[in-house]
Amino acid sequence: MNDKDVEAILRRELFKIAPDIDMADVELSADIREEFDIDSMDFLNLVVALSKALNMNIPEADYSKISTYNALVAYLGNQANA
Protein backbone atom coordinates (compact mmCIF):
# COMPACT_ATOMS: atom_id res chain seq x y z
CA MET A 1 0.00 0.00 0.00
CA ASN A 2 1.44 3.37 -0.97
CA ASP A 3 1.11 6.77 0.71
CA LYS A 4 -1.66 7.86 -1.69
CA ASP A 5 -3.77 4.86 -0.71
CA VAL A 6 -3.16 5.53 2.98
CA GLU A 7 -3.94 9.21 2.55
CA ALA A 8 -7.19 8.44 0.71
CA ILE A 9 -8.31 6.22 3.60
CA LEU A 10 -7.24 8.83 6.15
CA ARG A 11 -9.16 11.59 4.37
CA ARG A 12 -12.25 9.40 4.05
CA GLU A 13 -12.24 8.67 7.78
CA LEU A 14 -11.46 12.28 8.72
CA PHE A 15 -14.36 13.56 6.62
CA LYS A 16 -16.70 11.19 8.47
CA ILE A 17 -15.72 12.94 11.70
CA ALA A 18 -15.23 16.50 10.38
CA PRO A 19 -17.22 16.74 7.12
CA ASP A 20 -16.99 20.53 6.81
CA ILE A 21 -13.20 20.70 6.72
CA ASP A 22 -11.55 22.22 3.66
CA MET A 23 -8.19 20.50 3.23
CA ALA A 24 -6.79 23.67 1.61
CA ASP A 25 -7.17 25.42 4.98
CA VAL A 26 -5.47 22.68 7.00
CA GLU A 27 -1.87 22.97 8.17
CA LEU A 28 -0.68 19.39 7.64
CA SER A 29 2.14 19.67 10.17
CA ALA A 30 -0.05 21.13 12.94
CA ASP A 31 -1.85 19.17 15.65
CA ILE A 32 -4.58 17.17 13.96
CA ARG A 33 -7.07 17.73 16.78
CA GLU A 34 -6.77 21.49 16.49
CA GLU A 35 -6.72 21.61 12.70
CA PHE A 36 -9.81 19.42 12.34
CA ASP A 37 -11.46 20.78 15.50
CA ILE A 38 -11.95 17.30 16.94
CA ASP A 39 -11.91 16.27 20.57
CA SER A 40 -10.11 13.32 22.13
CA MET A 41 -13.10 11.01 21.62
CA ASP A 42 -13.24 11.90 17.90
CA PHE A 43 -9.51 11.24 17.70
CA LEU A 44 -9.98 7.85 19.32
CA ASN A 45 -12.82 7.08 16.88
CA LEU A 46 -10.51 8.07 14.01
CA VAL A 47 -7.75 5.76 15.26
CA VAL A 48 -10.21 2.86 15.63
CA ALA A 49 -11.66 3.49 12.16
CA LEU A 50 -8.17 3.60 10.62
CA SER A 51 -7.18 0.43 12.47
CA LYS A 52 -10.18 -1.36 10.99
CA ALA A 53 -9.83 0.11 7.49
CA LEU A 54 -6.13 -0.75 7.29
CA ASN A 55 -6.33 -3.96 9.32
CA MET A 56 -3.61 -2.89 11.74
CA ASN A 57 -3.16 -2.30 15.42
CA ILE A 58 -2.35 1.25 16.52
CA PRO A 59 -1.33 1.01 20.19
CA GLU A 60 -2.10 3.87 22.54
CA ALA A 61 1.64 4.20 23.17
CA ASP A 62 1.99 5.38 19.54
CA TYR A 63 -0.64 8.13 19.74
CA SER A 64 2.05 10.75 20.33
CA LYS A 65 3.61 9.69 17.01
CA ILE A 66 0.41 10.47 15.10
CA SER A 67 -0.43 13.94 16.35
CA THR A 68 -0.27 15.66 12.94
CA TYR A 69 -1.75 14.80 9.55
CA ASN A 70 1.70 14.32 8.01
CA ALA A 71 2.89 12.18 10.92
CA LEU A 72 -0.25 10.06 10.69
CA VAL A 73 0.23 9.45 6.95
CA ALA A 74 3.87 8.47 7.52
CA TYR A 75 3.04 6.23 10.49
CA LEU A 76 0.20 4.45 8.67
CA GLY A 77 2.32 4.02 5.55
CA ASN A 78 5.17 2.52 7.56
CA GLN A 79 2.85 0.19 9.47
CA ALA A 80 0.99 -0.89 6.33
CA ASN A 81 4.24 -1.78 4.60
CA ALA A 82 5.89 -3.46 7.60
Cα–Cα dist 22/79, whole Å: 27
Angstrom distance (rounded) from CA 28 to CA 62: 19
Please name each of the domains of the chain with its CATH number.
3-80 (1.10.1200.10)
Instruction: Answer positive or negative: Cα dihedral of 46, 31, 24, 81.
Output: negative
Give the pLDDT of residue 80.
83
Q: Length of the chain, please?
A: 82
Given a cut of 70, the residues of the chain with pLDDT beneath it are none
pTM, full prediction: 0.90
- How confident is the model at residue 3, as a pLDDT? 82
